[in-house]
Amino acid sequence: MAENINIKERVLKALERIRPYLQSDGGDIQLIEVTEDFTVRVKLQGACHGCPYSLQTLKAGVEQALIKEVPEIRSVVSVD
């Protein structure tokens, strides 16, 4: 359990570094949870929510950045 809290804190810090890029396009991101199997569930907000490029942003941008900083992460998925 303590390991998950540490990972969640690391994910939040990584998201803070990613957030300005999303905000520059009118979007944002919110962490929903880090599951027991190290899947990060996020909610895209603002211009990112419903954008046709949101999946590409999520996988090529957010997921890659998070995995680079928190290698335990398996994947990043968007929830509504």
Q: Report pLDDT digits (tens) over 4-28.
A: 679 999 999 999 999 999 999 899 9
Find, among 19, 8, 11, the residue nearest to 48 by Cα: 19
- The pTM of this model reads 0.88
pLDDT at 39: 97
Under CATH, domain 2-78 is a member of which superfamily? Answer: Fe-S cluster assembly (FSCA) (3.30.300.130)
The secondary structure of residue 69, as a DSSP letter, is H
Question: What digits encode the pLDDT tens for the residues 27-75?
Answer: 999 999 999 999 999 999 999 888 888 888 898 899 999 999 999 999 9
Q: How far is the C-alpha of 52 from the C-alpha of 7, rounded, in Å?
A: 30
Which residues lie below 8 Å from residue 61, measured CB to CB, with a gap of 6+? 18, 21
pLDDT at 76: 96
